[in-house]
Structure formats: C-alpha cells, structure tokens
Chain A
Amino acid sequence: GQQLNQSPQSMFIQEGEDVSMNCTSSSIFNTWLWYKQDPGEGPVLLIALYKAGELTSNGRLTAQFGITRKDSFLNISASIPSDVGIYFCAGSNAGGTSYGKLTFGQGTILTVHP
C-alpha cells in the first residue's frame, strides 16, 4: 500500500521560532491534509490541499501541495506554547474507486519551550 514518510519525528523549539515539517510519499495523492492531535484526543483538521502546487494558509500555518503530488510541507510561524502536539500529514485519492481513505504519516511531535 501507499506509504508516507513524515519528518522530522520530533522537534524541540523555543517559543517564537518557525517550524517546518514535511511528508513524502511513494506514490501520488490528489489530496493532502494536515492534522494536529493533542494527547488523548482525536486529530483536528488544520489545512486541506487539493491541487498540485497549491499553497494555503490558516493563520500562522502554511502548507503546500508538492508539484509532483508526492509531497507536502507544513510551516508554523512564530510558534507559541499551545502549538505543542503531534502533527500528522495524510494523503487521499478520493474520487474514482476510492471513497476517501486517508493514509497517515507517522507524525511529528512538536515541543515548544516558553
């Protein structure tokens, strides 16, 4: 099946720093999504990307859908303590014979020191 490699596995940063994480896939997706998960809770959708090359922002978050459709990155600017959590990328090929199954990356654990 499709595999997503997400990096880095973990990050320790100071409050105010910018953060960048990315996902690469062995095959193409037609949708990339980024989720944040707090301990003991469900993933919360941050950004959805639908077109190759698309760059989308949500507040301090910016994500891009790679031109090859096999990668995506997420940037967080001016990090704050509440950014702490696990960030997951997910890919989908909804449409055609697929009904939107998400394939998740392994997650990036973000720790922000005040």
Chain B
Amino acid sequence: EPEVTQTPSHQVTQMGQEVILRCVPISNHLYFYWYRQILGQKVEFLVSFYNNEISEKSEIFDDQFSVERPDGSNFTLKIRSTKLEDSAMYFCASSEGARGNEQFFGPGTRLTVL
C-alpha cells in the first residue's frame, strides 16, 4: 500500500541553524501539507501546497519557514533559523484531491532544537 515517507526520523540542531525536513508524498496525490505537533499537544496545520505554490498557511508559518517541491517526488520544509520553540514532531501529509480531503500522514520527523 502506498505511503508517505519522511526523512530524517529525528533531527537535532542548534538554535539558529537551518534545517530541511524531507517528505515523499504518495505518488498520485496532488495536495501536500505540513503539520506540527508539540509534545503532548494537538496536531497543528502549517501550510498546504498545490500546483507548485502555497495555497494556504497558518500564522505559525512565518518568514522563517518555506516549502518547496524541488522535483517530481520530494516535498520539503525548510526552517531558516531554528528557535527552541520549533522543537516538535513535523508531519507531512498528502491527499489526492482537496475536496476528497482524505489526508494521509507520514511517520513524522522529530525536530529537537538545542
């Protein structure tokens, strides 16, 4: 069964450093998303991406964040200058269509900012 994959599973970085989190969405899906989950809290929407551009973003997704689909398979989230409060699980999700909206999530990347 096709699934969303994410790398790395765990990333440790120093405050102020840049990180890139990688995702490979399900191959026939057209809509891509990033969410984050701070330990013990609910999952929060960051950004949606369709047709090679950001379609929607939350207030969390400030200028320090960017997303890219550099080729036909990868979808990346970059945090330019990490802060302590960026420590969280980051989940990539994809869906075939926005209206159908059955979003399938990857296993997540645990980001720890020291």
A residues neighboring B (CB under 8 Å)? 31, 33, 35, 40-45, 48, 88, 90, 92, 94-95, 98-107
Contact = CB atoms under 8 A, between A and B. Distances in A.
Contact of B42 (A42, A101, A104): A104
Interface of B: 4, 31, 33, 35, 41-45, 48, 50, 55-56, 58, 91, 93, 95, 98-108, 110
Contacts of B103: 33, 45, 100, 102
A100 B91 contact: no
Contacts of A45: 102-105
Contact of B48 (A33, A90, A100): A100
A48 B102 contact: yes
* A interface, over-half SS: strand
A42 B108 contact: yes
B45 A101 contact: yes
Contacts of B99: 94-95, 100
Given A98-B98, A107-B42, A42 B31 contact: no
Nearest to A43: B105
B42 A100 contact: no
B77 to A, nearest CB: 14
B98 A88 contact: no
Nearest to B49: A99
A104 B43 contact: yes
A101 B47 CA distance: 8
A29 B12 CA distance: 37
A33 B108 contact: no
